[in-house]
């Protein structure tokens, strides 16, 4: 938190037992979980209709959460935090954890977005996966993911949140590696799984610290505890480690680009709209802990600032359409982390941008899938061009997402991302100037690489060269089951941000969780920040137009600068991880093997061999023959006499 900002910290509103529709919140998780179980247990017998059951599950959960949201809107703000305790889950000496749900404005907003967007992506997947023989299994995994994600968000404790946290990790592994007959895809799934476990260790250690200091892992008790600054910092940094793994933030971001190996609906659901935002949710949910530690909050803001630039630079050089969007996701979540690191003044804006981003980024991922559907699974943007005349719905819906992520008024990104940039300029000292400048620079880079992608795919000259040994390209529009979800998400990209910002409604809605924050003036006039942001965005888009539309799209990577080569290689993140962690780990393992094989085992085996040899020699001496023993006596006597004579000389 910026220590000079006298914002009212997030207060923990006392929870009340859930009543009415809210008491059935556990069904939000149970419905998709039951659907996944049915599809997996029935196997091939459900192939003909399983996908429709898969679609019905998130739709039913959305209808239920919409009813809960309507009930909550009719309650006073102080009564909008409700819990349901289902049964005792963990009962040990000194620690009791109930299996319960927590319904509050933060969880309701998140669940509304997850269920609505996932419902659209499930509908889209019916057509996208139509010819896949394992479509039923795909929908089972998607339902499993939705159930785990909803459990993560609705949990009433860090322990239950961790179950959902690990559940989305498992489902992500299964979906990234869905086509695991391809070794590259299987390796990508394993990479995501392993890197997420690094972050998960931080969350486990944080829970251990909570038990040691508070004696509980329940939100109501932990978030209301008076932790010392030292323990608050330790717990906050451990929670941040967990968040960086799940949300692909520096330094645990290397898995996200490879995760594009999964089917495109997976990328849209998991790696754009839901799972990768779980880290942001964790930080905002843990706001009272971070409010006690300015150092931990500063670390969150620094990680967010680094990642938003890192992702933007990588996205500016990638030629794989899905990897550009993956880098963009990394960068946009960096914005959310930066906002969360600003403390109470940024919590609401972090979640605001999380929700608007879920709509326009999911829409663009589905648009990318539509382009792949019409171009024989081609992903190289250098081999597209002029598709606006052949895929008009895809072009228009993708355009809405493009304008939204650029932050052009009045599209959704203008209302959410610009609020983060404005908040980054609040405070005194070096922090507002550094964070504000980085956020402003990120807006220009975003405009550049997203405009590069949009122009290269939909405009300019036709570059429809077939891939090696591949069929000729005949671009065509996707079926209605794919385009209708894209249209709905495009409408959200246009209007959702303005509706949520109307009268400060969304920030007010979150106050029972994030607390009330007084208005603070940034170090620069608001109108100047807004105008500067729009100018920087237009400059970035103009540079992209000049480089990739006004002249022919470069088809090779020849004569690229050192920065461009580094960006195409993900800024050497894999090489750094291999040099710093993998190879030293392998060397340590090899050293331990050598020590065990040759030192420990050698010592034990050598001692045994020596003793056995001594035993064999001794056995030969003790042969039971009298003349041998007499010889030993004579020999011993001679040695003794010689020794005595030598001592007298």
Segment 35-52, tens digit of pLDDT: 999 999 999 999 999 999
Distance CA 519, CA 507 (A): 12
Q: How confident is the model at residue 13 (pLDDT cuts 50, 70, 90)?
A: low
- In whole numbers, what is the pLDDT of the chain averaged over residues? 89
Least trusted range by pLDDT, from 144-153, 381-390, 437-446, 470-479: 470-479
Q: How far is CA 168 from the centre of its chain?
A: 10
Q: What are phi and psi of 152, to 5 degrees?
A: -55, -45
Number of neighbouring beta carbons within 10 Å of residue 375: 24
Q: Is the predicted pLDDT of residue 481 greater than 90, yes or no?
A: yes
Segment 404-430, tens digit of pLDDT: 999 999 999 999 999 999 999 998 889
Question: In the β-sheet with 82-92, what is the strand arrangement from edge to edge?
Answer: 16-17, 82-92, 95-103
pLDDT of the residue at 516 = 78
Distance CA 334, CA 120 (A): 26
Which pTM was predicted? 0.89
User: What is 58-95 written as a DSSP string?
Assistant: HHHHHHHHHHHHHHHHTS-GGG--EEEEEEEEEEETTE
Residue 232 backbone class (left: φ over 0; alpha: ψ -120 to 50; beta: rest): alpha
Residue 277's Cβ-side half-sphere holds a number of Cα atoms within 13 Å equal to: 31
Least trusted range by pLDDT, from 382-391, 424-433, 515-524: 515-524
**Region 313-327 average pLDDT:** 93
pLDDT of the residue at 642 = 83
pLDDT of the residue at 4 = 36
pLDDT of the residue at 624 = 72
- Range 184-210 burial, b when 16+ CB lie within 10 A, else e: ebbebbbbbbebbebbbebbebbbebb
pLDDT of the residue at 469 = 59
Q: Is the predicted pLDDT of residue 3 greater than 60, yes or no?
A: no
Contact in structure between 312 and 446 (CB atoms under 8 Å): yes
pLDDT of the residue at 431 = 92
């Amino acid at each position: 938190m910026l220590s000079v900002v006298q914002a009212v910290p997030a207060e923990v509103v006392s929870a009340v037992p859930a009543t009415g529709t809210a008491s059935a919140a556990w069904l939000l998780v149970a419905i998709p979980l039951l659907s996944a179980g049915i599809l997996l247990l029935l196997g091939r017998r459900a192939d003909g209709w399983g996908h429709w059951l898969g679609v019905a599950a998130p739709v039913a959960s959305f209808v239920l959460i919409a009813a809960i949201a309507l009930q909550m809107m009719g309650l006073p703000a102080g009564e909008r935090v409700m819990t349901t305790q289902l049964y005792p889950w963990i009962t040990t000496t000194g620690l009791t954890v109930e299996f319960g749900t927590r319904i509050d404005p933060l969880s309701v907003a998140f669940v509304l977005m997850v269920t609505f967007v996932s419902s659209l992506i499930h509908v889209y997947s019916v057509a996208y996966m139509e010819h896949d023989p394992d479509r039923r299994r795909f929908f089972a995994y998607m339902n499993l993911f939705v159930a785990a994600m909803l459990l993560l968000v609705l949990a009433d404790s860090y322990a239950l949140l961790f179950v959902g946290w690990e559940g989305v990790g498992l489902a992500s592994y299964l979906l990234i590696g869905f086509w695991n007959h391809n070794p590259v895809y299987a390796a990508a799934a394993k990479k995501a799984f392993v890197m997420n476990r690094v972050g998960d260790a931080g969350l486990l250690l944080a829970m251990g610290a909570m038990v040691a200091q508070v004696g509980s892992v329940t939100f109501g008790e932990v978030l209301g505890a008076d932790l010392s600054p030292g323990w608050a910092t330790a717990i906050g940094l451990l929670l941040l480690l967990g968040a960086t793994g799940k949300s692909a933030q520096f330094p645990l971001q290397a898995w996200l680009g490879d995760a594009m190996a999964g089917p495109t609906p997976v990328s849209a659901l998991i790696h754009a709209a839901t799972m990768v935002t779980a880290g942001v949710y964790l930080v905002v949910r843990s706001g009272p802990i971070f409010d006690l530690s300015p150092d931990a909050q500063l670390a969150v803001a620094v990680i967010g600032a680094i990642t938003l630039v890192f992702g933007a630079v990588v996205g500016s050089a990638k030629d794989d359409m899905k990897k550009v969007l993956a880098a963009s996701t990394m960068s946009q979540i960096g914005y959310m982390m930066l906002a969360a690191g600003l403390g109470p003044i940024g919590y609401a804006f972090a979640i605001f941008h999380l929700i608007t981003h879920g709509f326009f980024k999911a829409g663009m991922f589905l648009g990318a899938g539509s382009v792949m559907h019409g171009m024989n699974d081609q992903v190289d943007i250098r081999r597209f061009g002029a598709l606006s005349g052949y895929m008009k719905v895809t072009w228009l819906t993708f355009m809405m997402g493009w304008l939204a992520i650029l932050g052009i008024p009045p599209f959704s990104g203008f209302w959410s991302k610009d609020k983060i940039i404005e908040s980054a300029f609040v405070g005194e000292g070096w922090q507002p100037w550094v964070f504000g400048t980085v956020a402003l620079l990120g807006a220009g880079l975003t405009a550049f690489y997203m405009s590069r992608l949009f122009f290269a795919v939909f405009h300019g000259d036709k570059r429809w060269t077939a891939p090696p040994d591949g069929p000729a390209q005949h671009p065509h529009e996707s079926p209605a089951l794919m385009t209708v979800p894209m249209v709905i998400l495009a409408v959200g990209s246009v209007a959702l941000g303005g509706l949520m910002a109307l009268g400060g409604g969304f920030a007010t809605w979150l106050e029972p969780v994030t607390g009330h924050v007084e208005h603070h003036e940034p170090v620069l006039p608001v109108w100047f920040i807004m105008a500067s942001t729009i100018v920087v965005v237009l400059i970035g888009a103009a540079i992209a137009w000049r480089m990739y539309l006004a002249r022919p799209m470069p088809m090779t990577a020849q004569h690229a600068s050192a920065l461009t080569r580094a960006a195409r290689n993900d800024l050497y993140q894999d090489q750094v991880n291999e040099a710093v962690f993998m190879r030293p780990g392998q060397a340590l393992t090899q050293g331990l093997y050598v020590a065990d094989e040759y030192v420990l085992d050698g010592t034990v085996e050598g001692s045994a061999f020596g003793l056995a040899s001594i035993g064999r020699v001794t056995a030969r001496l003790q042969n039971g023959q009298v003349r041998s023993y007499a010889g030993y006596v004579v020999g011993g006597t001679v040695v003794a006499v010689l020794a005595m004579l030598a001592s007298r000389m």
